[in-house]
Amino acid sequence: MSARRSSDSVSPPAAPAEEGDESRPALPRLGSGKTTINDIARLTGVSKKTVSRVINGSELVHPETREKVQALMTELGYSPDPQARGLAFRHSFLIGLVFDNPTAQYIVNMQYGALDALRDSGFELVVHPCDSKQADYIEGIKRFVQRQKLYGVILIPRVSEDQALADALQELGIRYARIASVPLDEPTRMVLTHDRRAGAEVAEYLESLGHRQVGLITGPKRYRSSIERGGGFIEGLARRGIKLSETHIYEGGYTFESGVAGAEALLRQSPRATAIFACNDEMAAGVYKAALRMGLSIPGDLSVVGYDDSPLASQLWPPLTTIHLPVRDLGRQAAGLLLAKDWPQAREAPAAFTVSPHLVVRDSTQPPRS
């Protein structure tokens, strides 16, 4: 073993600064590794526990110390791992989004809304697609919740409409927020969309243009949104003296393909419909394709109305008249509802959250030709 030369002597490490000490050494290179909570504690001269308290919003930290720790975390770009943070708690700092919805844009907008609410909260969003037609889908969701130690869960249609799933989450002690078109739970667990009211608005608008031969393409019967949108449309027509026959109602699947099939079936009926209401925009796009195949112009021969006001609605030609459903707001409100219950920095949860869909008139509708 080689002897150490006297010139190689190593200075003893400096004593750590007191927790309230404002001074800290110049930032060293931390190497290629990710900044850790230990680095933050060492460079600010406080304990790891104090840094953890700052991260978790504890009030047991002196304001000056909190400010110093937060400033360094910002300077170093430090972001705590939500799973690691959860080790100190019974839950992680994760919010789950559970869905069984075939409309991709709906899911994307919902995620954006939830992330709006979670920004700067320390929480992250994880998603879990499922197939509610499977007999054991609730068990799969329970495993997901337990494995991730979720803080809370956002349930969107159609899974939000399943009382058995809500009961299972309650048994696990997991908070949840349900998005649905009708009240299904305690007001503080619900975000309501009032789809029936919007369906009636479509009916009243088409009748006001002079349409009396109309067709309806619903979503799947197992979706409450489909029941509410279609039911509101039928009721709205009835109030205007129009009875919609069963031959002019087609059950679709909230997909483009089912919109094509539904329109072809409806447009073969006699008398032919002069207007079709499709219960989402993807099916309405399918109506466009069917009309093109049959040599019908929109809106000259056929007026079309959709639902959701997804980006697709303004990209179609002519642009689609549709019901605007503020999906991003739904996600934002549902996530905010979960945070508001325990976190003092979040706004207090109101008695209930609601959104109000409304009609956006574009170029796919006009009075029928005489």
The Cα–Cα gap between 195 and 232 comes to 8
CATH architecture of the domain covering 35-75: Orthogonal Bundle (1.10)
pLDDT value, residue 91: 62
| Contact between 113 and 332 (Cβ < 8 Å) | yes
Q: How confident is the model over 93-146, as pLDDT tens digits?
A: 899 999 997 678 889 999 999 999 999 888 999 999 999 889 999 999 999 999
73: nearest Cα among 46, 49, 115, 41: 41
Beta-sheet strand order (sheet of 94-99): 124-129, 94-99, 152-155, 175-180, 190-192, 353-354
Residue 348 parent element (H or E): none
The CATH code of domain 195-325 reads 3.40.50.2300
On whether the pTM is more than 0.85, the answer is no
* 3-state secondary structure (DSSP) of residue 277: strand
Beta-sheet strand order (sheet of 303-308): 249-251, 214-218, 275-278, 303-308, 321-324, 358-360
Tell me where in the chain the CATH 1.10.260.40 domain(s) lie: 35-75
Q: 111: alpha, beta or left, given left = phi > 0 and alpha = psi -120 to 50?
A: alpha
The Cα–Cα gap between 207 and 237 comes to 7
Regions in the chain scoring below 70 on pLDDT: 1-33, 56-60, 80-91, 102, 341-352
* Residue 169, amino acid: L
pLDDT value, residue 40: 87
Tell me where in the chain the CATH 3.40.50.2300 domain(s) lie: 94-193+327-354, 195-325
End-to-end CA distance of the chain: 105
* 3-state secondary structure (DSSP) of residue 366: coil
CATH superfamily to which 94-193+327-354 belongs: Response regulator (3.40.50.2300)
Q: How confident is the model over 308-350, as pLDDT tens digits?
A: 999 999 999 999 999 999 999 999 999 999 987 543 344 454 4
pLDDT value, residue 121: 86
pLDDT value, residue 103: 78
| Contact between 132 and 159 (Cβ < 8 Å) | yes
pLDDT value, residue 173: 87
